[in-house]
């Protein structure tokens, strides 16, 4: 059934979050800190590994070549400027504050941070774009099924350490992947192999930035870099 992949992804995140919330109540603060570091490292290396796989190519002479530097720098700079102009970070935080009130989480000081971090972790990346397109046009939800397994584990760990705000990242995923699913007919011609590679390249850099925020709390405004994904795809069509 078209759309089943998106539905499964949303449900998988909710289940993972609920299990993580239950486990979090049984884990002492010391263990929660260790789990948080482990989760942050996992996100860091997921992003780093994905970036390196797109960034380096083996040349015929056996040497490693660094590719796509102009696209990467241009996408991040232009995407950052667009994101700051729209101020996506503050809008996402404001949405998190609205959810916090509706969910009765006024006493949860970490709700918004948890919601934003989890939302960015599960929404950024090529799978969140390619998956819904395949689900709609090819009736092939396998990419989203695989993503669901990854999201289930990540959100479960994040919820156990950061709280129930992570569970509501399912709403972000539902909206994001739902929009891509509905617009799949328009997006499909744009998603050439090069565009998909660019999307994965920049998307994994943003995932790495989420890991940096989780581990060192440097405050990288990752949401304001999200337009870099669109710029990376558009870069494919530059002369």
Q: What is the pTM of this model?
A: 0.79
Query: Domain-by-domain residue ranges, the chain?
Result: 4-23+67-235
Six token digits for residue 70: 């102009």
pLDDT tens digits for 119-143?
Answer: 988 888 778 888 888 888 877 888 8
Reported confidence tier of residue 69, pLDDT bands at 50, 70, 90: confident
Region class of 97: left (phi > 0), else alpha (psi between -120 and 50), else beta = alpha
Judged against a pLDDT cut of 80, whether residue 104 lies above it is answered with: no
Q: How far apart are CA 159 and CA 112, in angstroms?
A: 12
pLDDT tens digits for 223-234?
Answer: 888 899 889 989
Residue whose structure tokens are 């006493």: 107
Q: What does the pLDDT read at residue 173? A: 93
Q: What does the pLDDT read at residue 105? A: 67
Q: Are strands 64-66 and 56-58 parallel, antiparallel or unpaired?
A: antiparallel
Six token digits for residue 83: 């994101």
Three-class DSSP category at 67: coil
Three-class DSSP category at 56: strand
Intra-chain end-to-end CA distance of the chain, in Å? 39
What percentage of the chain exceeds 90 in pLDDT?
20
């Amino acid at each position: 059934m078209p759309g089943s992949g998106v539905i499964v992804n949303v449900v998988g995140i909710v289940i993972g979050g609920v299990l993580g919330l239950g486990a979090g109540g049984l884990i002492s603060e010391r263990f929660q800190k260790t789990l948080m570091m482990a989760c942050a490292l996992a996100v860091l290396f997921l992003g780093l590994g994905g970036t390196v796989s797109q960034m380096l190519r083996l040349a015929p002479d056996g040497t490693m070549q660094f590719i796509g530097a102009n696209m990467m720098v241009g996408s991040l700079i232009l995407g950052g400027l667009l994101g700051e102009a729209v101020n996506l970070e503050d809008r996402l935080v404001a949405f998190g504050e609205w959810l916090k009130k509706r969910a009765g989480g006024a006493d949860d000081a970490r709700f918004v941070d948890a919601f934003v971090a989890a939302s960015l972790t599960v929404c950024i990346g090529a799978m969140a774009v390619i998956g819904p397109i395949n689900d709609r046009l090819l009736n092939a939800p396998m990419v989203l099924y695989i993503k669901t397994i990854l999201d289930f584990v990540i959100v479960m760990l994040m919820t156990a350490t950061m709280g129930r705000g992570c569970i509501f990242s399912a709403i972000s995923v539902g909206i994001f992947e739902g929009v891509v699913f509905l617009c799949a007919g328009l997006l499909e011609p744009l998603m050439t192999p090069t565009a998909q590679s660019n999307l994965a390249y920049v998307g994994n850099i943003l995932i790495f930035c989420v890991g940096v925020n989780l581990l060192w709390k440097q405050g990288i405004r990752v949401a304001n870099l999200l337009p870099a994904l669109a710029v990376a795809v558009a870069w494919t069509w530059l002369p």
